[in-house]
């Protein structure tokens, strides 16, 4: 099966051959995790101590927000 993966934010698309849309989603989300990790390292605010008890809590909250945003930008469509 071919799945079209569109990124609305970057206005890009690619075709992935896989067994299901869920498999395509997992494949893409694995790469989004890496992207979110990289972005999080740069995005944790300098004043995190005002909002979180530990750097780890600040990192995890920032990572979660970034990953959620990245996932929301992706649309998966089965191609016949």
Q: Taking 90 as the threshold, does the pLDDT of residue 79 lie above it?
A: yes
For residues 35 and 6, give the distance between their C-alpha atoms in angstroms, rounded to a whole number: 16
Question: Token pair for residue 67?
Answer: 């990953």
Q: What is the mean pLDDT of the chain?
A: 94
Task: Note the pLDDT of residue 47.
Answer: 80
For residues 32 and 28, give the distance between their C-alpha atoms in angstroms, rounded to a whole number: 6
Task: Note the pLDDT of residue 45.
Answer: 77
Domain ranges of the chain: 2-79
């Amino acid at each position: 099966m071919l799945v079209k993966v569109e990124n609305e934010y970057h206005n890009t698309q690619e075709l992935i051959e896989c067994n299901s849309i869920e498999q395509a989603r997992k494949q893409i989300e694995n790469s989004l995790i890496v992207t979110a990790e990289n972005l999080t390292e740069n995005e944790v605010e300098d004043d995190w101590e005002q909002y979180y008890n530990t750097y780890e809590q600040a990192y995890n909250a920032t990572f979660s927000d970034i990953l959620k945003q990245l996932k929301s930008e992706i649309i998966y469509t089965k191609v016949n």
